[in-house]
């Protein structure tokens, strides 16, 4: 499918008027148009002063060299390798997020979720349980049952009584379906979305979640109270005291607090919540719904008005508590919350639901259909080889049509290639993993169809895609042909060095050791050890004081500090930018030729350049290049606008 990228770009580019957007360069029959070159030139030279005829001509020459290398990589099939496809698709998918659906989906979900966070809802619910993978018959029975209950509610039977008797949520037996207050990100998303769609008094539903069908009675809506941070002294029910003893003790603690005994003292002495006791009995900030299992605790915490206020003793299922309010934390602004909220939203069920809706729209727009017969044939081949990451079916009808998008047909073979490229070892069952891969495949096909529209309508997207595509190809072929070859071809490198030995000369140098530290005192003692030639003491001192040591042959320009010391043997102290130095010059080396080892790094760079020039000479003979004068002039005019 990757080769189709060049075709898509060609079709998209050729849709422009050839008069306004002529061909500037042709390399091996492949055209590069003025608009693309203008985009690339402006990106590399944003200043208007650089948009001269000479600069454009210089850039075109460099660009031709680049295109020759890319053409060679394509003709070697580099863009069909597994490694290339994985890397390119990673870039491509990130870019798609911006130009296709992902960023828009995420941004709209962020706004919607933040709007929900600004309100708290109190609701009750009634559940008819049915699993996501239930049979059609079981699903139909659940649907009938939930609608029967809805009709009874419409006929004025009390919601709470029906929830207590018929809800499949076990907690309804004692709470009659009441959930208390909650806000965004605390319920499964379909439930949250339905609840926020109603007003007090409404019964919303049926709503399908992964738990089954729900009816939701909206009891109250109010502005969010944000979060609170509290401390609490807790006496547990399970410590050997009887109920009266525990109650009497908590009230005794309360009286001591009222009498002025410090909170910290009583917390340390009495609290039986070991998780908070060592933190002055302070809990992490929490919002509404965080203590849904102990609603009394949440209710009391949010009822306190001012920091330092202390509650009366109260009882929960876990024991007796006294709460002190530390602070109230209002809901942050959207901008403050945006990044942390984004991390939660993209991992949440709401993101997948939004994606599903997006792809459903694309399927409708592109007249998407599946060949169920061959889909079943493909799915039947799912076995443990798939979950081990080495699925390679031999007998599938690869030329048969699997998907249709309008007049475009996608074959079984296209899916097999996709699956083999993307399969990985997994703990999923083979049939589940096949469904996952097939889903990803259909999404990628729909994305590609949507992408082709964007390629036609958004030139900057087309250019960026091509930059990624050709940039990866260039890196791959340069690594093979030049960089690795120059570093690994020791014989060729040495031969090049010997033939060009006169190039590798050094000015006057010193053989020296440079010591550096953050204090002058550390180096003063080191200097004493070095003057006394006490190498053992010097080594120990360097280690103890974490003094940095840098030894070698240096020219004056190699280190800034060398320009501020005398160029003669001996120990020299200096300071630069808050760091202290001790330079031990051991020997003055006169100007002369560098050895092979000394010149190796520079020689490799020069050898790479020579290899590249030879290679480019061969490529120029292999691939014809045409510069179209009319297009070149139009490019210059475009850049001067």
Structural domain spans, the chain: 119-223, 227-329, 366-454, 505-593
Torsion of CA 159, 161, 166, 169, to 10 degrees: 80
Cα 512 from Cα 626, distance rounded (Å): 56
H-run or E-run covering 398: none
pLDDT over 50 at 335, yes or no: yes
Phi, psi of 130 (to 5 degrees): -160, 130
Least confident of 111-120, 158-167, 353-362, 524-533: 353-362
pLDDT average, residue stretch 302-320? 92
- Enter the DSSP assignment of 453: H
If we measure between CA atoms, which residue out of 358, 420, 367 comes closest to residue 1?
A: 420
Reported CATH class of domain 227-329 = alpha beta
pLDDT over 90 at 82, yes or no: no
Percent of the chain with pLDDT over 90: 64
User: Is there a contact between 369 and 403 (Cβ–Cβ < 8 Å)?
Assistant: yes
Over the stretch 284-300, which tens digit does the pLDDT of each residue have? 999 888 887 788 899 99
Please determine, looking at this structure, whether the domain spanning 119-223 carries the CATH number 3.10.50.40: yes
Confidence of residue 3 (pLDDT cuts 50, 70, 90): very low
Determine the Cα angle at 98 with ends 92 and 101, to 5°.
95
User: Is there a contact between 123 and 179 (Cβ–Cβ < 8 Å)?
Assistant: yes
Domain 505-593 architecture: Roll (3.10)
Cα 465 from Cα 5, distance rounded (Å): 9
pLDDT average, residue stretch 506-524? 90
pLDDT over 60 at 8, yes or no: no
Over the stretch 482-499, which tens digit does the pLDDT of each residue have? 988 888 888 999 999 999
User: Is there a contact between 65 and 25 (Cβ–Cβ < 8 Å)?
Assistant: no
Three-state DSSP class for residue 406? coil
* Confidence (pLDDT) at 30: 93
Query: What are the residue ranges of helices labelled H in 288-429?
Result: 295-303, 334-347, 349-365, 372-379, 384-387, 412-422
pLDDT over 70 at 19, yes or no: no
pLDDT over 60 at 4, yes or no: no
* Confidence (pLDDT) at 445: 93
Confidence of residue 12 (pLDDT cuts 50, 70, 90): very low
User: Is there a contact between 461 and 95 (Cβ–Cβ < 8 Å)?
Assistant: yes
Q: What is the 3-state secondary structure (H, E, C) of 86-129?
A: HHHHHHHHHHHHHHCCHHHHHHHHHHHHHHHHCEEEEEEEEEEE
- The structure's pTM equals 0.57
Asked if domains 119-223 and 505-593 share a fold, the reply is: yes
Could you give the C-alpha distances from 102 to 96, 125, 334, 357, 635, in angstroms and in order?
A: 7, 33, 20, 12, 35
Over the stretch 213-272, which tens digit does the pLDDT of each residue have? 999 999 999 999 999 999 999 998 776 778 888 999 999 999 999 999 999 999 999 999
pLDDT over 80 at 56, yes or no: yes
Which tokens go with 509?
A: 């140098």
Three-state DSSP class for residue 290? coil
Confidence of residue 18 (pLDDT cuts 50, 70, 90): low
Cα 149 from Cα 154, distance rounded (Å): 9
Cα 317 from Cα 294, distance rounded (Å): 7
Cα 47 from Cα 52, distance rounded (Å): 11
* Confidence (pLDDT) at 578: 82
């Amino acid at each position: 499918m990757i080769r189709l990228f060049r075709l898509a770009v060609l079709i998209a580019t050729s849709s422009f008027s050839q008069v306004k957007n002529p061909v500037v360069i042709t390399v091996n029959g492949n055209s590069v148009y003025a608009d693309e070159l203008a985009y690339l030139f402006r990106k590399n030279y944003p200043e208007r002063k650089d948009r001269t005829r000479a600069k454009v001509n210089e850039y075109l020459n460099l660009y031709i060299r680049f295109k020759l290398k890319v053409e060679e990589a394509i003709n070697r099939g580099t863009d069909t390798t597994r490694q290339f496809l994985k890397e390119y698709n990673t870039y491509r998918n990130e870019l798609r997020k911006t130009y296709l659906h992902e960023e828009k989906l995420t941004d709209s979900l962020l706004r919607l979720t933040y709007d929900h966070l600004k309100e708290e809802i109190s609701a009750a619910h009634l559940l008819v349980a049915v699993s996501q993978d239930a049979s059609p018959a079981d699903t139909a029975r659940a649907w009938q049952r939930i609608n029967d209950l809805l009709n009874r509610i419409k006929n004025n039977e009390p919601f709470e009584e029906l929830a207590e008797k018929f809800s499949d949520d076990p907690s309804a037996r004692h709470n009659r379906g009441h959930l208390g207050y909650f806000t965004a990100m605390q319920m499964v998303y379909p439930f949250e979305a339905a609840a926020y769609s109603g007003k007090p008094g409404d019964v919303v539903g049926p709503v399908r979640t992964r738990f089954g069908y729900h009816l939701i009675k909206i009891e109250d809506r109010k502005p969010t109270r944000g979060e609170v941070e509290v401390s609490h002294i807790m006496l547990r029910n399970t410590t050997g005291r009887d109920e009266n003893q525990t109650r009497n003790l908590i009230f005794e603690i309360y009286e001591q607090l009222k009498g002025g005994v410090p909170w910290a003292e009583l917390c340390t002495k009495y609290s039986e919540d070991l998780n908070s006791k060592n933190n002055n009995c302070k809990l992490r900030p929490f919002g509404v719904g965080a203590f849904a299992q102990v609603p009394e605790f949440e209710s009391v915490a949010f009822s306190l008005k001012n920091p330092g206020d202390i509650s009366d003793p109260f009882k929960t299922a876990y024991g007796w508590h006294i709460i002190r309010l530390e602070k109230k934390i209002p809901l942050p602004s959207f901008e403050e919350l945006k990044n942390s909220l984004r991390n939660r939203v993209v991992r949440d069920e709401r993101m997948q639901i939004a994606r599903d809706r997006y792809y459903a729209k694309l399927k409708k727009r592109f007249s998407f259909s599946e060949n169920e017969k061959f889909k079943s044939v493909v799915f039947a081949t799912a076995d443990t080889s798939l979950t081990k990451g080495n699925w390679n079916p031999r007998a599938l009808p690869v030329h048969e049509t699997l998907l249709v998008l309008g007049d475009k047909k996608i074959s079984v073979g296209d899916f097999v290639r996709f699956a083999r490229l993307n399969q990985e070892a997994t703990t999923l069952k083979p049939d589940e993993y096949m469904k996952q891969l097939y889903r990803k495949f259909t999404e990628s096909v729909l994305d590609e169809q949507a992408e082709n529209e964007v390629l036609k309508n958004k030139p900057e997207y087309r250019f960026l895609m091509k930059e990624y595509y050709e940039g990866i190809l260039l890196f791959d072929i340069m690594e093979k042909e030049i960089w690795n070859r120059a570093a690994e071809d020791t014989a060729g490198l040495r031969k090049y060095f010997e033939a060009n030995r006169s190039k590798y000369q050094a000015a006057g140098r010193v053989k020296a050791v440079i010591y550096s530290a953050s204090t002058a005192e550390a180096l003063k003692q080191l200097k004493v050890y070095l003057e006394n030639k006490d190498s053992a003491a010097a080594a120990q001192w360097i280690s103890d004081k974490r003094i940095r040591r840098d030894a070698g042959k240096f020219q004056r320009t190699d280190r800034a500090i060398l320009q501020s010391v005398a160029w003669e043997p001996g120990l020299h102290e200096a300071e630069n930018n808050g760091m202290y130095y001790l330079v031990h010059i051991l020997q003055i080396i006169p100007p002369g030729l560098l050895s092979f080892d000394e010149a190796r790094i520079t020689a490799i760079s020069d050898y790479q350049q020579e290899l590249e020039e030879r290679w480019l000479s061969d490529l120029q003979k292999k691939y014809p290049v045409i510069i179209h004068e009319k297009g070149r002039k139009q490019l210059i005019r475009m850049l001067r606008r």
